[in-house]
Amino acid sequence: MKMGKLTGVYVVLVTPFTKDGDVDYDGLRKNVRWLAGQGVHGVIPLGSTGEFASLDDDQKERITQTVIAAAGGKIPVVVGSSAETTEKAIYYAKRAKDLGAAGALVLPPWYYTPDPEEIVHHYTRISEAVDLPIIIYNNPFTSKVDIEPPTVARLAELPNIVAIKESSGNMRRIAEIRTLTNDGIGIFCGWEDMAYESFVMGAQGWVCVIGNVVPRMAVDLFELITVKNDLAAAWELYKKMLPFLRYLEYAGKTQKALKYALDKMGLAGGYCSSPKLPLSDADKAEVDQLIQGMQ
């Protein structure tokens, strides 16, 4: 029997760092508590936005503990559990479960470019080893591995593979996955400026970057389409959000922009992990203008 589905707007968290490169756990706690009061349906630490690849195992564990404690049972926490080996991914997912996570978000291994059989083997072993809802993370632009719909259909047969974060940027994928799986797997939008289209096509959730800064707007967009079926009102809201959504998706400065905005809001943005540098003054002015345009 399939595990319960995850739905809604799940904000993929930034990881605030100090100038010395340490994680600002107090700041992270503050951010999560704020988000929990903004109506989001869940949060995800240790995703791409959270710079998971720059963190060691001790930092990952403490971040997981901090976020779950700060969420306080008010919202579920799905923990990024990606690794280059299956054994390590299993380890991360097991630790997430032990610490109270509601699910795990898992990329395929990326460096050695697994073929479809190896992708299926990877997720099957994780599914069998960890009794936890798993969201497949398909992000071919970063990982260079594309989990295509026929492979997704095979994975959807596993009882605790409950959803896929679809970050291919190909809108056809939603219909293809829904058709091949007979709606047997949930679909989360993973491409910021395709949120509206994804919800209209039947996506049940959004692994959401912009929600770090404007969580209420993200939730309103999702609910206008999926709950109220008010596409006209949703489109007017989406038009306001689109310039910043596109910036976050294409400018190559996602974490920098979010952290700058969070600091200005009195929350914890902090620094990025090295070697990423802060925004230039010109970039800051552009981000200011984009955020102002959403008001």
Active site (catalytic) residues: 137, 165
Strands 42-44 and 78-80: unpaired
Q: Report residue 41: phi and psi, to 5°.
A: -90, -10
As a whole number of angstroms, the distance between CA 200 and CA 279 comes to 34
Backbone phi, psi, residue 281, to 5°: -60, -40
Taking the C-alpha atoms of residue 165 and residue 149, their distance in angstroms, rounded to an integer, is: 12
Interatomic CA distance for residues 167 and 267, integer angstroms: 28
DSSP β-bridge partners for residue 127 = none
Q: Is 183 helix (H, G, I), strand (E, B) or coil?
A: coil
Q: CB-based contacts of 133: which residues, under 8 Å, 6+ apart?
A: 3, 4, 6, 78, 102, 103, 104, 160, 162, 163
Q: Cβ neighbours of residue 31 under 8 Å, at least 6 residues apart?
A: 13, 14, 16, 212, 262, 267, 268
Pairing between strand 186-189 and 42-44? unpaired
